[in-house]
Amino acid sequence: MANGTKLSAYWQDVLNCLLGIGLFFSPWALGFAGEHFAAMNAHVIGAIIAVLAIAAILAFQDWEEWISVVLGAWLIVSPWVMSFSTVRPAMLTHVLIGIATVVLAIWSSTEHGSHLPAR
């Protein structure tokens, strides 16, 4: 499969990669770099999401998508678990990117993943 065809076939993973990169840079872009837990969470989880998305584009595996689902779920709850829910830009960034990551990863897995045979 040609690279352009592969990118268009795996558009959910391309978008998840962009979301991961956006999350990584969001503390500086949105002004919450001074919030240690929020910024560290954005850097670490954003980098992992981007790397997993690139891996899924290059050699799709269902486990990559399910790890992205778990990371997305973590992003949704992390503002309250890590006590930065009062920092609105950080909270909104984490929750919205978390929701998008979960939806895109599940969509990609159902579209490209291995499915159990019907009984």
Domain ranges (residues) in the chain: 3-112
Taking residues 66-70, report their average pLDDT: 92
- pLDDT given for residue 4 in this prediction: 55
Task: Give the pTM.
Answer: 0.84
What is the band of 7 on the pLDDT scale with cuts at 50, 70, 90?
A: low
Q: How many helices (H) and strands (E) does the chain have?
A: 5, 0
Q: Go through 81-101 and write b for each residue having 16 or more CB atoms within 10 A of its CB, e for each that does not.
A: ebebbebebbbebbbebbebb
The alpha carbon dihedral of 62, 68, 74, 77 has a sign of negative
